[in-house]
Structure 1
Amino acid sequence: MSTVPNSASGTTDTGPWLVAGLGNPGPQYAGNRHNVGFMVADLLAGRMGGTFKAHKSRAQVLEGRVGAPGPGSHRVVLAKPMTFMNLSGGPVTALSTFYKVPADRIVVVHDELDIGFGALRLKKGGGDNGHNGLKSLTSSLGKDYCRVRFGVGRPPGRMDVAAYVLRDFSAAERKELDYLVDRAADAVEALITSGLERAQSTYNS
C-alpha cells in the first residue's frame, strides 16, 4: 500500500479521515442555518460520486477518496449524524471507533454565530461557543478535532439564538449560498490534502 506524508502531522497517511457535517435530520430542517454542515456534506458526497447509506452508528455514511488519483488521494469517511444536533457526539464517536480514526483526523463542519455570513474559519481545538453539537462532540472526543466553521452571523435585534439558527437562510443569503457551500467543501478537501496551516492561509477569511 502506498503512503504519502501528511503535511499536517508529518506522519504517513495510512488511515482514513472522518468528515462529519452537523445538522438536524428531517426535511423540515433541511434549509436551516443550523444545517449548513449537512449541506457541505451533501456536496462532498456528490463530488465523491457516491450516496449515503445508513450505518449502525446512527449516521448516514459514505466512504470514498479525495485528492488527486494515486498516492496523493486520501481515504475519507463522510458522515451526517442522524441524531439531533445536541446528540451529535454519539454517532461521531462511534464512527471514530469503528473506523479507528484519531481525533486529529476528524473534521467537523458546522455553523458559527460569531462569524459573518459565509466567512470560513478553519481551526483545531477550542471551545464550543454555546454550540450544542460541539458541546456533545467535545464531551465525547475531547477538543483535538478539526473544525470548518461556516459563518451564519448573529441574529438581528433581540431574536432568540435558537430560533435564528433553526430558521432557513434568508432570500438574500440563498443567492450566495451555493457558492459559499462549494467553497466550504473546497476548504475541507484542502485541509485533508494540504494540511491545516495551508488550508487556513487560503480559506480563513
Structure 2
Amino acid sequence: MIPPYVIAGLGNVGDQYENTRHNIGFLILNKLHSEMAFPSFSEKFSGMISKMSIFGRSVILFKPCLFMNRSGIPLAQLRSFYKYEMSNLLVIHDDIDLELGVIKCKQGGSSGGHNGIKSVDEHLGNRYYRMRFGVGRPSLQSSVANYVLSCFEVDITVYINRAVEGIQNIISVEKELEFPVGLL
C-alpha cells in the first residue's frame, strides 16, 4: 500500500471558535474540501476525516477534534493506522509572528510557542511540513490568547483562497509530495 498524503488543519472544536484566528487550519481545510469535492467528513481517530484518491495516491484531510493543545494525539492515532510518512504530512496552523495573510511553508523547526504544534511535535516529532498562516500580532502581548480566539476583523477569503490554491498545486503534482516554498 502506498502511504497517503495527510493534510491536517489545526483548530478548536465548537461554534464559539468557528471563525477565529486560531481556527485558520480548519477554515483552509474546509475550503480545500469543498473546492476539490472530497467526500463528507466522518468521525474517526478523535477527529474529522475525509479521503479520496488523486493520481492514484490517497489524500487524507484531517481535523483533530481535541482542543488545540492536544492536536498531536489524534494525528498520532491517524499515523498509527495509516502508516503515513512524516514527509507526507502537512499541518496548517495560525502564526502570530506573520502579518495577516502571509503564508510560509517549512519542514521541521520549533513550535514558535504554538501549543498545537508543540503537541504534534511531542507525539510525532517535527519532521513534517507545516503551513504557517499569518494572523498578525495583537498590540498588547498579554492579550495573545484573547486575540487568537477572536474573529478576524477583515474578510480573509482572498488569503484562504491563496492557501488552498497552493495546496492544490502541491497535491496535483504526480510525484513524491513536496512542499516547496515557491508554490505558496
Please indicate, yes or no, whether the TM-score normalized by the shorter chain is above 0.5: yes
- 1:113 and 2:102 are equivalent in the alignment: no
- 1:39 and 2:20 are equivalent in the alignment: no
Structure number with larger C-alpha Rg: 1
Identity %: 37
Alignment of 1:70-85 (within 5 A): 72=55, 74-85=57-68
* Residue in 2 that maps onto 1:52: 41
RMSD: 1.6
Deviations 1:86-113 (A, max 9, x none): 0000001111111110211111000011
* Residue in 2 that maps onto 1:7: none
Alignment counterpart, residue 79 of structure 2, candidates 91, 96, 116: 96
Counterparts of 2:135 and 2:157, CA distance in 1: 14
Q: Which runs of 5+ in 2 are unaligned?
A: none
CA shift, 1:73, in A, is 5.5
- What is the TM-score of this pair, normalised by structure 1? 0.82
CA shift, 1:44, in A, is 1.3
The runs of 4+ residues in structure 1 deviating greater than 6 Å are: none
Alignment of 1:183-198 (within 5 A): 183-194=162-173, 195-197=178-180
8 Å Cα contact 1:120-1:148 kept in structure 2: yes
8 Å Cα contact 2:3-2:85 kept in structure 1: no
- 1:150 and 2:133 are equivalent in the alignment: yes
Q: SS at 1:150's partner residue?
A: strand
CA shift, 1:28, in A, is 0.6
**Count of aligned positions:** 179
Q: SS at 2:50's partner residue?
A: strand
- What is the TM-score of this pair, normalised by structure 2? 0.91
Counterpart amino acid of 1:160?
S
